[in-house]
Amino acid sequence: MKKTLLTILIGMGLAASAMAQGSINFLNFNDTLTFEQLIYGPDPSNPALKVSGSSAADAPAGSTSYAGAPLQGSRYVAQLWAGPSTVTDPSLLTLVTSTTFYTAAGSAFPAGAFEQVNGIIAGVPANSSAKLEVRVYDTQSGATYTDALIKGSSGLFTSAPLGGIDPVTGNPVFAPDTTGWVSFNVAAVPEPSTFALAGLGAAALLIFRRRK
C-alpha cells in the first residue's frame, strides 16, 4: 500500500512539474512572412558598432540600414534565454535552447535566418508570459556567448502566453513564436586588456592636463 501511494505521489509530482513548463517556437523567420527579423554581421568599417531595428527586408519592415552581411551557417549560434515575466535584469535569464543559421539563402530561407527549434521554459507555466532575450555569437570568437568577442542581443521582450499543458484545465495550449523583437547585428567586443589600456590612457591624459 505504501509503495503504491509513493508511486502515485511521484506520478503526480512529475505531472505537476511537466505542467509548470511552458513551450515556445524559437525562430526569426516564418513561411507566412508575418514575422521576419534577420541577424547581421559586423559593420566592416566599424566592427564595434552596434545596430538594431527592422530593415527594409524585414516583416514588419523598417528603415534601419545594416552594413554587415546577413549571417549564414553553423559558425553563428542563436540562443533563446528566458525567465519569469517580472525579470528586468538579463543576467537573471537562463538558456532555453540554441540553433544555427541556414547555410544557404533562398526563397524559403533568407540569409540572416536561423533554423527553428522548440524550447521549454522551466518554471513558467503554459498560458503565462515569459521574459525573453535572443543572443547571437560567432563561435570562432568564443566557445560561449559570455566568452565570445563578436556577439549581439535583442534586448528584453515579453512573450505571448506560452504553450504546453494548461496547469489549471489540463488542456493543450498552442506554442507561440518569439515575436515582438527586431533585427540586430553582432559586433566586436573589446577584450579586457583593451579596456585597461583605454583606462590608463585616460588617466595619463588627466594627469597631463593637471600638470599643464
The domain limits of the chain are 2-200
Q: Which residues of 43-75 are buried (b: 16+ CB within 10 A; e: fewer)?
A: beeebeeebbebbebbeeeeebebebebbbeee
Q: Residue 186 corresponds to which cell in the numbers above?
A: 553582432
Q: How confident is the model at residue 94 (pLDDT cuts 50, 70, 90)?
A: very high
- Averaged pLDDT score across all residues of the chain: 85
**Averaged pLDDT for residues 131-157:** 98
**Averaged pLDDT for residues 62-83:** 97
Q: How confident is the model at residue 81 (pLDDT cuts 50, 70, 90)?
A: very high
Task: Pick 112 or 206 by higher pLDDT.
Answer: 112
Cell 533568407 belongs to residue = 110
pLDDT on residue 114: 96
Q: How confident is the model at residue 12 (pLDDT cuts 50, 70, 90)?
A: very low
23 has which bridge partners?
A: 120, 163
d(CA 35, CA 181): 10
d(CA 37, CA 53): 9
Q: Are 70 and 110 in contact (CB under 8 A)?
A: yes
pLDDT of residue 175 exceeding 80, the answer is yes
Q: How confident is the model at residue 107 (pLDDT cuts 50, 70, 90)?
A: low
Q: Are 40 and 184 in contact (CB under 8 A)?
A: yes
pLDDT on residue 210: 52
Q: How confident is the model at residue 191 (pLDDT cuts 50, 70, 90)?
A: low
